Structure 1
């Protein structure tokens, strides 16, 4: 039984292989804010956060300061989103007051289903952040990179190359919000099901504990749509993107009821092989590391596909296992027995 773990680097590699300019590709951790806040500003918490970092002159647009700090490694989107989570209930200015350029005022834009699935009192900022600062921009970047008008979804050759190695009983732990890998499975004709559903009839299990663009929720539950549907328009009675878990520090799956259900359905599996593709472990991956340790405890080694050998060394040190490192999928295919 094989477990494949894929992260942002996998989607980024697929986008680059299709000829997309790097600046148009879906985000990595180091440019997450720059690529997702183009039409949104997390006002006023962004200003408060920068002030607490010691900055008083925020310029005309505080986002630019944060982008520069993010690029330099001085600021980290995980730490900022943790700050937002902890302060999400703070009082905010009246909506009639002037807000910075780029800010979408007045909470979420009304769409079908918004009335039937209201936002809880005090959660307006957080839900707005999920919707406009994460979900919608990643949806746009996914379509921009992987869809061609008049043709449909582009040929996802990289994802298909590794997906061909999967079959019944295998699992994909997909840490991305996009559905690129699931689309690749569809292009191969490989059936799959989303955890916590039980796989059957040759299906590969897709586990997405960070949420997914094609997942919607309300106060009663959640469901996944087809991977070609990226969350909008949202179905009546459900909230799009409300299931996403942003890359914030100190997040635990038990804090999020949907993630808890998804992870519990797969945590006791005992795979024979563990492959990491496009994964870069971050400070917030405490729960994931424990899951990797449990899955790999009877393995002599794991496989890491990543251009950065430092990532392979970090995984080896954390899991206390030897690592077979490949800089890209071509090298992995060449090295497969």
Structure 2
């Protein structure tokens, strides 16, 4: 493993610098970012003093944390845009390639050594063990009013009736939320307690931090995908539209859109293939199925107004960074 703790180095003739390793989760794409360290050092101890979150449709769904690095500060160590290891996604005016790994879904812009201007960096992709994304100051960028306006997903046909039947299983208030990946190849409606009452999970493990997901845990059968795998299994999306990525112990599948690379949900292996699995699960509590609420329509008030993604009842799983096997980048 490279020295991703990246100790600062300097001589009498140069300012101290520090290097950061960024990668997609599957490590097909790895870059090194080297920046001068500010003097005096800020409280968070990093050179990332001008960072932001954007309220445009794409940035919200990916929960991107932006930093614009100076030209010449990025070195591609493996993969990158040039050799096709990153795949582009365009939307709106289609004037910019949003580069992501097609296998694990990590959004990794700036993985190009030929940029002549500021290099866009998604700080979520930094893998240094001593880097704490949640300690950074953030400002808000406004991109929601750019033309053409983004049209959010509509509730899939048949979802209202299906979820109305599902709601009868619960003795408490439930609400239907509609969402989808950014390109809308996969859309969904999901039933659970109102968001204000749900304990959402902002997990600090390597995949969840890097892919910007924010989890709610409804019953597995309380979601209706369009298009679905079949009419009898609306809780499973059409398998031709998604990639299922596993790592580590292989117990969780992380399901990513094949076109825009948004991570849609995670699921553990079904304990029971019959209809009973998930039906009695208490909505809002961790279970075998998690859905990414960053993909919900009208989520701006939750993800932007607080700027750090804090919601009522949010659980930050900071200990997840140390789960075995500990994630390491191999350069």
Which of the five TM-score ranges fits, normalised by the shorter chain?
under 0.3
Structure whose residues are more often strand by fraction? 2
